[in-house]
Chains A and B, each alone.
Chain A
Amino acid sequence: MKMYRKLSSLLFLGLAMSFTQCKDSGEDLQPDDENELITSVTLNFKEDATGTVTSFSYKDADGDGGNAPTKFDTVALKANTKYTMTIEFLDESKTPADNITEEIREESDEHLLVYTPAPASLLTYTYGDKDENNFNVGLTGTVQTGPAGTGNLKVQLRHQPEGKNGSPTIGSDDANLDFVLKVQ
């Protein structure tokens, strides 16, 4: 019977322990913290002849999932025109918005922007910047449009943490967007 008492006191202790250990996981809830998030991509085209700037954006303020992208502009350019193009990446889920373009510039030896028009005759892109190893980056460059037509402009931000050699095949996509392209 002595054992029985011993056992029941142990039991009581255990039950007490199992409830005192209770903790509310809600109190420890950390805010979202995605370091790689890109919520907005903007292409700025400055017409060389006039200096007029037109911008086209993709915006998905809450990142993947949640609400659908709020903006995905059609890139409308003039035929047979020369533009200077810059690209801008933002993480607007944070306050203030995180300027990803700056981070890419700092780590330009690990990133490569690739612009692929389809059909290829719509425009020609020429890189205007190089990283410390003299490989293209693509944050700024020139665009020469061809004759009028419609198609796509694929914009890829390749993350190449190892072995960037100017080729787009290595690494993986941090951004991969197919803008509708209208040259008129």
Chain B
Amino acid sequence: MRNKFLLIILAVLLSLPIIVFGQNPGCACFVKGVVKDKHTNQPVIGATVLLVGQNTGVFTDENGRYELRNLCPGSYTLECRIVGYNPFRQKLDLTAGHEENFDLEEQEVHLQDVEITAHRTESPSSQPLTTLSGIDLEKTRGQNLGESLKGVAGVTTLQTGSSIAKPVIHGLHSNRILIMNNGVRQEGQQWGSEHAPEIDPFIATRLSVVKGAAGVRYGSDAIGGVILVEPEELPFDKMLSGELNAVGFSNGRQGVVSGTLQGGIKNFKGFAWRAQGTFKRGGNIRTPNYFLDNTGISEKNFSLSAGYRHKGFGIDVFYSRFATQIGIFSGSHIGSVTDLLNVIQKGEPLVKSGFSYAINRPNQNVAHELIKAETHYHFQNGNRLQWTFARQLNDRNEYDLHRPRNDSIAALNHPELTFKLSTLTNDLVWDHKPIAGKLAGQVGISTLYQYNLMDGRPLIPNFNQFNVGLFWMERYVTKRWEFEAGIRYDYRTLKTYRIVNRQKVADDFQFANFSGTVGATRSFSEKFSVRLNAGSAWRAPNVSELFSDGVHHGAAAFERGDAALQAEKAFNTIASLKYVDTKWSAEIGGYFNYIADFIYLKPQAEPILTVRGAFPYFKYTQTDATFKGIDVSASWEFLRNTTIASKLSYLRVYDQRNDSYLVMIPPNRVDNQLKYELPDKGNLHGTFLSLGNLLVARQKRVPANSDFLPPPKAYSLWNLQAGTSVHFAEKQEIEIGINIQNLFNTAYRDYLNRFRYYADEMGRNASLRLKWKFGA
């Protein structure tokens, strides 16, 4: 837990015995070591290494070495602050075992050698970053990416039934947040609310959320925030190791198996590889009172990676394939508004079902491939060049409930909708060496080329898109202060092709924008720090906002795009306070996000007549919106080994131009967890038992007459979790976890689930999680 709050993921690779002599005056101990970049394994020059609460601080030299001298015996906290890296903290004990080594040379005895390997962070350090890793990530294993991130304050999900979940950060989702999958912008058909990110969370050992606009480093679309999916560094020159995860869920009788094997290669120095795969299969989901027909899932993913390091040079190659087939609840199909009103009136689905693993129509069949090469070179003088090239292919096929009436066409069983999106991205980043050990920064260029091919029922046009962005960021770090500033310019061209009255019509669009960020972090003491960031980001309207023209069947709405839409511009300020003590910690973040020309669906007065009857008419329109909110997370160890942790997310959204609220904004929520940790015993460690409650309020702030149903009632869900790790042999460990979600089988509906009209949410779901880890 502490690690999570400190945002530290580091490895201490080497610790020599701590030896201090007992003479008076005994202030002759010292600590020395080297600071290395975790990814490139190269020394980091100009890092600040200091002892918390002492007035001593040094910079690392050109070999990344540091040395702190003339320390009195005692307990210290070593802190390493590097521009562009996550901070590192480690406790040191310079008191133990001095007598035995009394006779040794001074140089050898008063020493602790600490090698620091630091994780680079490219997100603005003054913006709140929450990382899920270790046990917090393990607890989410088996769930999809959106569900896995639900534990982060300020993050919720936008759902389509139970199997499709998209992450929502501070009320923004889809094209307004960016997912960086292993350093590459994830490019699927993000505009669709039922298009979940095509990422297997098992590839990641860290899932991080940057809250707020982060357009400078990551480019357009990062209006609401960025999700970083990061795998572990490759195990260069290490022994074979691996893990096997197996998770079983009672609801949907779902099973997930995922395995990883990795290692170096003997006689081939500087080389490492990894192979990973996941298999998931689930059947119909059960709500407290009924099964949901056709809600099974089948997923097969794998990834391969290899890397090579030699001195300052390094290259990593990564390939991943994600393939999923998701059944869409058949009771959600409606032909007309009358159909929808009938389901709403009945209060439960008209289609009844039992349990089945079969995935019938309607369903989604999606494959996403990513191939990526990343190479870097550390110059002797501390400069660094990094180039990332990636190609993605997103192949999405959607099958409607109804087969074509014409038998010969039906026999082909073609999807009614096919999207093939190919994306090529290039990022070239130059990190200049720290100036005076205090100022570091990077300049970069990013390009994106994309084309979309569409087949079937007309929905969005074919398009070619090209984007180029140039950015420059600098950070200035002193002992107590950290400042940063950055600027970016993006230029985008979009050419669309569609058929209007059997004629091919091409349209051209150009968008260009600046984004900027300024921020400061002040550490008042080792326990207390304050961050302030102001940033901007922009987003060009996507093709569905430009060209939608038809009935959105899930929502029973006629949606029409507007080709004259302008880009959205977000101005985001975010302030956070963080206090970390031994018994309690708290982080409070407040944000204000002003989005100029916010694109949304505005209800129109007149309905649109179609052959399926009249549908309410919505048109993509722009307004100015404000997003104000607070995220609080706090934990308090009020009894020995017993901790209460609370998270609160509060958000208010307002449409400034129309003096109204906006639709589909996540309601406020509070999550409380009571956790009892057992002391380590024998080969058992990390044993815990926890009871939690999630309270979600009713969304009362909705515009009048914009929906078929008022937002669902508030709900309260209980969960129970337990887990432990067993070290049963040398370098072998088994981790066991039990988790019961929706303990009391509560029937509820969530405002951000598009199927809230049709059915209740998932009922009780118990899961058992096993992880076998070996070799590391």
Contacts and interface: CB of A to CB of B under 8 A. Distances in A.
Contacts of B636: none
6 contacts: A21-B424, A23-B451, A28-B462, A64-B549, A64-B612, A65-B550
A170 interface: yes
A106 B389 CA distance: 54
| Highest count of chain B CB atoms <10 Å: which of A30, A39, A65 | A65
Given A64-B611, A172-B339, A174-B335, A35 B409 contact: yes
B447 interface: yes
A92 to B, nearest CB: 12
| Highest count of chain A CB atoms <10 Å: which of B339, B407, B416 | B339
A38 interface: yes
B403 interface: yes
Contacts of A133: none
B462 A26 contact: yes
Interface in B241-298: none
Given A7-B387, A26-B495, A159-B402, A176 B375 contact: no
Contact of B611 (A14, A17, A175): A175
Interface in A7-25: 7, 10-11, 14-15, 17-19, 21-25
Given A4-B377, A176-B335, A17 B613 contact: no
Main DSSP-derived SS at the B contact region = strand
Contacts of A176: 335-336, 338, 611-613
Interface stretch (B102-110, B497-505, B665-673): B497-505
A66 B505 CA distance: 14
B335 A29 contact: no
A35 B498 contact: no
Q: How many B residues touch the partner, as a band?
A: 35 or more
Contacts of A69: 609-610
A169 B342 contact: yes
Contacts of A35: 404-406, 409, 416, 457
Which are the 8 A-B pairs with shortest beta-carbon distances?
A173-B335, A35-B404, A172-B335, A65-B549, A176-B613, A103-B405, A25-B462, A173-B336
Contacts of A100: 405
A28 B453 contact: yes
Interface of A: 3-4, 6-7, 10-11, 14-15, 17-19, 21-26, 28-36, 38-39, 41, 58, 60, 62-66, 68-69, 72, 98, 100, 103-104, 106-107, 156, 159, 161, 169-170, 172-178
Contacts of A173: 334-336, 338-339, 612-613
A103 to B, nearest CB: 4
Nearest to A24: B464
A97 to B, nearest CB: 13
Contacts of A174: 335, 402, 612
Contacts of B400: 36
| Highest count of chain B CB atoms <10 Å: which of A4, A25, A65 | A25
Contacts of A178: 613
A161 B351 CA distance: 12
B613 A177 contact: yes
Contact of B377 (A3, A63, A65): A3
Contacts of B456: 33-34
B324 interface: no
B387 A14 contact: yes
B218 to A, nearest CB: 19
B449 interface: yes
Contacts of B497: 25-26, 29
| Highest count of chain B CB atoms <10 Å: which of A17, A35, A63, A156 | A35
Contacts of B183: none
Given A11-B428, A21-B424, A172-B334, A3 B312 contact: yes
A34 B464 contact: no
Contacts of B373: 14
A154 B609 CA distance: 14
A60 B502 contact: no
B389 A29 contact: no
B14 interface: no
A17 B409 CA distance: 39
Contacts of B204: none
Contacts of A41: 611
A3 B498 CA distance: 47
B385 interface: yes
Given A32-B499, A172-B334, A10 B609 contact: no
Nearest to A175: B611
B737 to A, nearest CB: 40
A111 B73 CA distance: 87
Contact of A25 (B375, B453, B612): B453
A156 B405 CA distance: 17
A19 B453 CA distance: 18
A18 B392 CA distance: 12
A65 B551 CA distance: 8
B463 interface: yes
B481 to A, nearest CB: 35
Given A7-B387, A65-B551, A69-B610, 5 more contacts: A14-B373, A28-B453, A39-B611, A65-B560, A176-B613
A25 B405 contact: no
A62 B463 CA distance: 22
Nearest to A60: B611
Contacts of B454: 30
Contacts of B404: 35-36
A18 B427 CA distance: 12
A39 B403 CA distance: 18
Interface string B505-522: 010000000000000000
